[in-house]
Amino acid sequence: MENIKILIADDDPDLIEGLGWYLENENYKVISAADGEEALARFRSEKPTLAILDVMMPKKDGIEVCGTMAAEDPDCLIMMLSARDGEIDKVRALKGGADDYVTKPFKIAELVARIGALLRRRSRSAPQAEPETGLRYQNLVLNKEERMVRVEGKEVELTAMEFDMLLALMERPGKPMARGDLAEIVWGNFYGDFRQVDNLIFRLREKLSAAGCENFPIATVRGIGYAFRP
């Protein structure tokens, strides 16, 4: 929680002090603002995870500030506070980008619990990074575990031999590899014509180029074979 910043924007200094103290005890980092213009300035400079906005603020009201924040950073969670319990205000706030609307007076413990619920909900819905199980070059990703190659996130259909050839080269960046060595990796005990290696490289280059691979660096090394040169 120490990495989570919460912005409290309210013209009531007692509310900021009390709520801020409670949130800091929960290990959140708290920043504050006393009016709508200051709220936007702190929002832009601090980039909070969650903003708590009073609807009735000087200079800019909370609903206007909410709409600006939601447009500039859709990932920022926004909770509105208001002494007014009107349906119209709630609808305006939620349509403007608010994630929750709390009417005053409220119990601080309950408010903090709702903040925690919002943060957990965002955490569950956020895309999870896949573990690194492969090799990457610009917009090309080779996943060894899945035996899959993607360019710009789209799968490139390779034969097993084409995949093994690409893997052999990418695992040894900058190292020239003889046709015979590549043939042994791809075919095992190889007794054929090394032109089969050239043909395989040709097809591999064609497929990756057609998929949009940028500056694909399978270089021909004269008198030796091929090298992956990022």
Q: What is the DSSP string of 79-133?
A: EEEES---HHHHHHHHHTT-SEEEESS--HHHHHHHHHHHHHHHHHHSPPPPP--
- In the chain, the amino acid numbered 101 is Y
In 3-state terms, what secondary structure has residue 227? strand
The top-level CATH class assigned to 134-228 is: mainly alpha
Domain spans in the chain, listed from the N-terminal domain onward: 5-125, 134-228
Quote the CA–CA distance of 157 and 148 in Å, as a whole number.
Answer: 8
Using CA atoms, how far apart are residues 162 and 118, in angstroms rounded to an integer?
47
**pLDDT tens digit at each of 230 positions of the chain:** 457 899 999 999 999 998 999 899 888 999 999 999 999 999 999 999 999 999 889 999 888 899 899 888 888 899 988 877 666 777 877 777 888 888 888 888 888 888 888 888 766 544 444 445 678 888 888 998 888 999 888 899 999 899 999 999 998 888 899 988 898 888 877 667 788 889 999 999 889 888 888 666 788 888 889 998 76
Q: Which CATH class is domain 5-125?
A: alpha beta
